[in-house]
A and B are shown apart, each in its own frame.
Chain A
Amino acid sequence: MELKELHLFDRLCWAKENLEPHQSDYRVVFEDNVDEPAKVLVPDPNWMACAMHGGILPPVWVYHELERDEKTPGFKKHTRGYLLHETEPMPPMSEEEAIEYLIMKDIPNHIWQTWNEGNKPKMVICKKEQLPQTREWRNAWKIDPNINSKEAA
């Protein structure tokens, strides 16, 4: 039996035992509610190792399909979980490709699909050291309205 033939959870367990975690310096700052502070997405090191190894994670469209099912009125339980386990897994990704995948998986669609529409960017990919070094005024953090959208991309 090959790795890609295992259920996704079993592939993740294999990765946990066999792959070295990769601590990414990338962070994704996004705003999805004007009444809430900016949120910061932090990639998980074990997940990054899976993404960069390849053959473990399903294509991101699989998550979007399941998300669509979940939003169907009357949803009680997933019946298309096989998509996670039986779809051909993603090949090895670069660190940057993994971050793009993660954005599409873990940040709401309405943010990353329209990140640069409106008065200022709603999402910024940055390095860890570019974030404030203390959490002072954490609940007032916002994306700088003057940020250059090319830099934000």
Chain B
Amino acid sequence: MAYGKIVADQIQHSSEGTVGTQYVVSGVAKAWVNFNGTGTIAARDSLNVSSLTDNGTGLYTPNLSSPFANTNFCVTTGSRSETNGYILVDNSYYVSRTVSSCRLATVSDTGGAQDGTWMNVSYLGDLA
């Protein structure tokens, strides 16, 4: 099987203007995962994720297959718990952040660790 490639610096829409392909490449999520953080945690679907580590109640680390060039990648998160509704995800664990992983912590509105039923995480940045 052959895998084709189109090389272009810009993409032009018929009426809405032109955009540089570097913006398209830069703006695309390089990894994402939707997982259930309750019970035996499990990914529902993903891209560029090799595994999930369950570190304890409300503590998770998705591990990436294709790592970022540095640790300054952007992580966006959203989460919901079946018992507590919307819960907050802290993805700013810079101490344990590497180019291929970022620890997440989920807490309820009272500040206690809370497992998330619907954990959604996406990553943007430059790959290595």
A residues whose Cβ falls under 8 Å from a Cβ of B = 1-3, 5-10, 12-14, 16, 23, 27, 36-37, 39-47, 50, 57, 63, 66-67, 70, 76-78, 80-81, 84, 102, 105-106, 128, 131, 133-135, 138-139, 141
Contacts and interface: CB of A to CB of B under 8 A. Distances in A.
> Interface size class for chain B?
35 or more
B57 A135 contact: yes
A32 B117 CA distance: 26
Contacts of B46: 44-47
B54 A40 contact: yes
Contacts of A78: 67, 69-70, 99, 128
Contact of A14 (B3, B56, B101): B3
Contacts of B50: 43-44, 47, 102, 105-106
A37 B53 CA distance: 12
A83 to B, nearest CB: 9
Nearest to B43: A44
Nearest to A38: B56
Contacts of B1: 2-3
